Amino acid sequence: MNISICVCTACHVNGAKDIVEKLQNLVAENNLGDKVELKASFCDGDCKDGVYVTVDGKGFSLTADKVEEFFKVNVIDKLA
């Protein structure tokens, strides 16, 4: 599974660094290092409501307080 996180200006201002760190921690805590690849991506134009993240090409607008729920629904449950 590929997760990409936009690190361009608007997403950076919206907290991309925090989101990357949270996702890295969640991948490690759940022992998913061999199943999930985190990558940086660049602006896709969808940066109004949060940090733009894609999971296998599907786009989400993510805020730091939603990372855990996002990870459970879109990563853990999908890999189960």
Question: In the block, which residue shows the tokens 């940066």?
Answer: 47
- Least separation in angstroms between residue 34's CB and ligand FES is 28
Query: Longest C-alpha distance within the chain, in Å?
Result: 34
- Per-residue CA distances from 2 to 13, 35, 44, 57, 78 (Å): 23, 9, 16, 8, 12
Which one of the spans 22-30, 37-45, 68-76 is the region binding ligand FES (CB under 6 A)?
37-45
By the rule CB under 6 A, 62 interacts with ligand FES? no
- Structural tokens at position 5: 């996180």
Which one of the spans 17-25, 31-39, 43-51, 69-77 is the region binding ligand FES (CB under 6 A)?
43-51
Binding site for ligand FES (CB under 6 A): 6, 8-11, 43-47, 52
